[in-house]
Structure 1
Amino acid sequence: MTTTDQSFSAGKENGALIEESILPTLNGQRPIGWLGYAWIWVGIAVIIATYSLGASGIGGGVSLGTVIAVIALANLAIGLVMVLTADIGTEHGLSFAVYLRAPFGVYGTHIPAVSRGIVAAAWFGIQTYLGALALNGIGEYFLGFENWIVWYVVFGLLQIVNTAMGIKSVERLAALAAPAIIAISIWMYFTLEDLAATQGVNIWTYQATGEMSLMVLFIANMSFWSTMAVDIPNLTRFLKTPSGAKSFFSRNRNVFLAQLVALPVTQALIAGLGAVSFIATGNWNPVEVIQGEGQGLSLVLLLALVVLAQWSTNNSANLIPSALTFVNLAPRVINYRIAVMLAGVVGTLCFPWQILNNLFVFLGYYGAFLSALGGIMVADYYILRRRRLNVPALYDVAGQYRYVGGFNWAGLIAWVVAGAIAAWQSQYAFFIGFPLGLMLYFFLMKAVVLKNHPQAEIESGFSGAYLATSEGLSWTHTGQGRFERLTPEHAKAESLQREDL
């Protein structure tokens, strides 16, 4: 058995930080390959709000080809940020909220993590509402029954059950939904192009009179996925990862196709549909356009696209992140399945049908604070700790990540200040929040915090004893609050032994 000296016995309060769903995933507990993860991201990227991103560019005087290219490049840029933060999951098997105990403290983590959790829950509500409207249309066509509230409840429960069944169930849905979404989206494009042609409009040469800055369009599209850029470890902790892979590229090889191809290509194409819809009709939402003119099977197929798109996005991008932050908030009383249900309730109580009326204000402000959070994470994980983490201490209320009363004020101050300045200039949010959060956090940690709160992984000279996957080991909770690094074989045996107890 291979272990490190990084283990501890739980004190009286340590159980408050431990729950099975937020423990590090063992290397043998990661079932998703590169294709499954890519399908998940195709499903995530197809959401109704994406259509408006393309239409905003067209309305601002940018040509269709340029709009698609800028949006693809913006999502490639945010995809690169995701590749960086993904390593927290592939190396250590940690969820987003648990990792934030390092830069924010074992209690301070709740402030940014729950903020993200509530936003994710609100997005669940928005997506479920849009899906319910589509189901209402299908129900009216086949059953003559119309009541979107009933469909909201039914659709919400279906998603909650699917997500509660675990990551493998989420992957199966994505593998089913993604090809269907692509096929129906292609059909939508040709339908809209024909509609424009009947009006004598060439969608590829159309030029509006606006004067939108390409930089504004670029940054707005980066901010759109700033949520997933910070909490991507929630997904990557389930990706198949070669044990002992010291190379960053080898360790994260199952990340690249999704983040650098599936996301930018899908996002650009879906935004392009919104742009084409705007050119053809003046309405950015192609679903409304075709729904207004469609009938019979074509209408049902369109509405099925809406349902699949909302469902596949909600599982991975909203319910899982939200649930894990709620588990992290109170591990003693909230398990994963309860947390998924709680996310659904919170998302509904956010009154998502009202948020839709102010969607881009909502996107701009929370995107600003999440961009700052991304900068803090990169500064903490790569610059300060050089990918090393004292993982057992993340679950120890009296350990090194307690800082002052459980709060790391360097992280909180950097997040609030950088996020507020980015929100003040929200059209440039990501380019302000990310570097400012990074620099403020690094300066405050070096100048103040590290002098008074030494961090074992840094003091060790960045020893390999604070790595996991790249050392061929997994952080393993062996019971009674003790953690050890074990080989995959021993980790699996330990896990089976605990299940039998």
Structure 2
Amino acid sequence: MSTGRERNTLIEESILPTNLAQRPITTLGYAGIWIGIAVIIATYSLGATGIGGGVSLAGVILTILLANIGIGLFMLFTADIGTEHGLPFAVYLRAPFGVHGTHVPAISRGLVASMWFGIQTYLGALALNGIGSHFLGFDNWFVWYALFGVVQVVNTAFGIKAIEKLAALAAPCIIAISVWMYFTLDGIAQTKGLNIWNFHAEGHMSLAVLFIANLGFWSTMAIDIPNLTRFVKTVPGTKSFLKRNKSIFAAQLLALPLTQAMIAGIGGVSFIATGNWNPIEVIQAESQGFALISLLVLVVLAQWSTNTAANLIPSALTLVNLSPRYINYKTGVALAGIIGTLCFPWQILNNLFVFLGYYGAFLSAIGGIMTADYYLIRRRRVNVPDLYSMTGQFRYSGGVNWAGMLAWLIAGGIAAYYSDYAFIIGFPLGLVLYYVFMKALVLPGNPQQEIESGYSDRFLATSVGESWVHVGHGKFQRMSVSELGTASIGREDL
């Protein structure tokens, strides 16, 4: 039983499980969110780097398409934590890392998310400054940087419904303007006598390096995707993994790979046509009037739609998890925005592949640990009430699960040493080490109710038609959809 003190230290509205009545995002809405997330200006650099390394345009597009299908498949496994139990990423990490140990890996993800927020805001600010200098005669990117950051923080603070509405606006605009950019850049290449599909630079980049770099690109979302999937509409009582997660498939296996490959391809075409990876700068220099406005609107929408769902929410929730007593969701969003704007994102952008390699190493290891814990150790059963109890089974040794910590540090460290291949080392190594350490070192002295019960269905939720609900004073119970309709459940709309 939880006490009032426990409620203050581990429980806050925004990190409670979402029940089946609190999931407003439709299949189309979730796909729209992913189109918005996938359009990152930094992806242009990824495509151009491949072209500069001697890979053909078709090779770049196909490699990045396949890499994103791969990471999308991986995300399906971690997504189930959200669809089944309604849990956010940082709270679930209390299972493999402990109620105190969760903070180290969770904050590492939160800081990366904040840094990406800064990168995206900086690129959006450059576009806004282009509009301001062209039409208003006002040239000061830093002012736009601060203002754009504030607007995004406010939008995200209004919750998931506001984010879905932004995605519904942004997605079709992004696709239309991206197609226009492709034909514009192809036209520039033709005037120089270049065929974009036959172009080959004098480089020797391995397709494997390009493939793995793109895996690292999305290692952040791969581990904390429950932050979004816990808001996706799910049919109750669906034991089948495929049926339970069917609303996830279109977004992660179609919207993400196709959009990311398209954007990387445009970056590649820009490099072929002009030698500059950034098509924004290229077309901005040659456009005016409606064409210029359209281009810069793309940049702003792309950064905005990515930042809200992929960066601010994950970072905010890790901060809430760090100190639920003092930080609520809106405060967490504001703090995440401040941290992101102070991280000198222009320096990170200049060293993007190094950044991707090192953070991808440690985050991929977390992904392996989560997968081992959820599927191999607990078989999808989770003692959710104890995730919010300071004295429950997830206290382990002083609040730390050393199986998780050791597996993370060893797997992440080795993957970072071989950073060019970080994801394909970190994920499987983290999975294997965690499983071995749990079986040999932790479980003998720390019984887990899910396992001791013989993997009872009383530790499931959505797949048996029920939801975990906090009923006050640190207490949780499962409720059916009909019971949710009659219960009085207080909760802010994240």
Q: Separation in 2 of the partners of 1:422 and 1:53? A: 21
Equivalent residue in structure 2 for 1:86, among 63, 79, 82: 79
Match of 1:195 among 188, 204, 210: 188
Distance in 2 (CA, whole Å) between partners of 1:218 and 1:35 is 28
Q: How far apart are residue 423 of structure 1 and its match?
A: 0.7
Does residue 107 of structure 2 align to residue 102 of structure 1?
no
Q: Following the alignment from structure 2 to structure 1, what is the Cα–Cα distance between the partners of residues 79 and 489?
A: 27
Could you say which residue in structure 2 is the equivalent of 1:421? 414
Amino acid at match of 2:388: Y
Of residues 27, 52, 57, the one that matches 1:59 is: 52
Q: Which residue in 2 is equivalent to 1:144?
A: 137
Deviates more, 1:71-80 or 1:10-19: 10-19
Q: How does 1:341-356 map to 2 (within 5 A)?
A: 341-356=334-349
User: Are 2:303 and 1:303 aligned?
Assistant: no
Deviates further, 313-322 or 489-498: 489-498
Cα displacement string for residues 209-247 of structure 1 (whole angstroms, at most 9, x for unaligned residues): 212211111111111100000000000000000011111
Distance across 2 between alignment mates of 1:172 and 1:24: 23
Q: Per-residue deviation at 1:61? A: 1.5
1:141-175 alpha-carbon deviations (Å, 9 max, x no partner):
22211211211121111111110001000000001
Instruction: In structure 2, give the amino acid aligned to 1:455.
Output: Q
Aligned to 1:321: 314
Residues in 2 aligned to 1:489 and 1:136: alpha-carbon distance in whole angstroms: 52
1:478 is aligned, of 467, 471, 483, to 471
Shift of residue 496 of structure 1? 4.2
Residue type at the aligned position of 2:448: Q
The alignment's TM-score, normalised by the length of structure 1, stands at 0.96
Superposed, which structure 2 residues align to 1:149-160 within 5 Å?
149-160=142-153
Aligned equivalent of 2:110: 117
- Counterpart CA distance in 1 for 2:62 and 2:350 is 28
| Contact 2:468/2:476 (<8 A) preserved | yes
Distance 1:14 1:305 in 2: 44
4+ residue segments displaced more than 4 Å: 496-499
Task: Provide the rounded CA distance (Å) in 2 between the counterparts of 1:112 and 1:272.
Answer: 33
Gaps of 5+ in 1: 1-7
Q: What letter matches 2:474 in structure 1? A: G
What percentage of residue pairs aligned between the two structures are identical? 70
**Matching of residue 282 in structure 1 with residue 287 in structure 2:** no
The aligned runs of 1:174-189 (5 Å cut-off) are 174-189=167-182
Q: CA deviation at 1:285?
A: 1.0
Is the 1:15–1:481 Cα contact (8 Å) retained in structure 2?
A: no
| Equivalent AA in structure 2 for residue 239 of structure 1 | V
In structure 1, the residue matched to 2:210 is 217
User: 1:22 matched to which residue of 2?
Assistant: 15
**Distance in structure 2 (CA, Å) of the matches to 1:318 and 1:25:** 20
SS in 1 for 2:444: helix
Deviates more, 1:57-66 or 1:324-333: 57-66
In the alignment, which residue of structure 2 is the partner of 1:330? 323
Q: SS in structure 1 opposite 2:350? A: helix
Q: Contact 1:475–1:483 at 8 Å: present in 2 too? A: yes
3-state SS, counterpart of residue 13 of structure 1: helix
Picking from 405, 424, 435, the partner of 1:442 is: 435
Residue 403 of structure 1 is matched in structure 2 by 396
Q: Which residue of 2 aligns with 1:131?
A: 124
Amino acid at match of 2:147: V
Q: Hey, what's the Cα distance between the residues in 2 that align with 1:49 and 1:252?
A: 30
Distance in 2 (CA, whole Å) between partners of 1:211 and 1:137 is 36
CA–CA distance in structure 1, aligned partners of residues 490 and 158 of structure 2 = 23
The equivalent position to 1:291 in structure 2, one of 267, 284, 288, is 284
**TM-aligned CA deviation for residue 276 of structure 1:** 0.6
Structure 2 gaps of 5+ residues are none
The number of aligned residues is 492
Deviation of 1:356 after TM superposition, in Å, equals: 2.1
Following TM superposition, by how much is the alpha carbon of 1:387 offset from its aligned partner in structure 2, in angstroms? 0.4
Deviations 1:50-98 (A, max 9, x none): 0111112111211111211111000000000101100000000000000
Q: In the TM superposition, what whole-angstrom CA distance separates every residue of 1:373-430 from its partner, at most 9, and x where no partner exists?
A: 1110110001111000000000000000000010001101101110111011111111
- Tell me how far 1:498 sits from its aligned partner: 8.0
One-letter code aligned to 1:311: W
Does residue 370 (structure 1) correspond to residue 363 (structure 2)? The answer is: yes
Whole-angstrom distance in 1 between the partners of 2:108 and 2:475: 30
Once the two structures are TM-superposed, the CA of residue 449 in structure 1 deviates from its matched residue by 0.3
Equivalents in 2 of 1:320, 1:205: separation in Å?
42
Matched, 1:466 2:455: no
- What is the aligned counterpart of 2:385 among 367, 392, 395? 392
12-21 or 421-430: which moved more? 12-21
Q: Aligned-pair distance for 1:14?
A: 4.1
Please say if residues 13 and 491 of structure 2, whose CA atoms lie closer than 8 Å, have aligned partners that are also in contact.
Answer: no
In structure 1, distance between residues paired with 2:486 and 2:123: 45
Query: Residues 497, 263 of structure 1: CA spacing in aligned structure 2 closer, same or farther, 3 A cutoff?
Result: closer
1:232 aligns with one of 222, 225, 229: 225
2:49 is paired with a residue whose SS is helix
Hey, what does 1:3 align to over in structure 2? none
* Aligned equivalent of 1:169: 162
Alignment RMSD (CA, Å): 1.2
1:431 aligns with 2:424: yes
Q: Given the superposition, is the C-alpha separation of residues 62 and 397 from structure 1 closer, same or farther in structure 2, using an over 3 Å criterion?
A: same
- Report the CA distance shift for 1:219/1:261 in structure 2 as closer, same or farther (over 3 A): same
Secondary structure at the aligned position of 2:379 is classed as: coil
Structure 2 CA distance, aligned partners of 1:240 and 1:174?
17
User: Can you list the C-alpha shifts for 1:310-348, whole angstroms capped at 9, x where unaligned?
Assistant: 000000000000000000000011000111001011111
Give the alignment's TM-score, normalised by structure 2. Answer: 0.98
In structure 2, what is the equivalent of residue 5 of structure 1?
none
Distance 1:478 1:489 in 2: 16
**SS of residue paired to 2:104:** helix
Once residues 327 and 162 of structure 1 are traced to their aligned partners in structure 2, the CA distance between those partners, rounded to angstroms, is 18
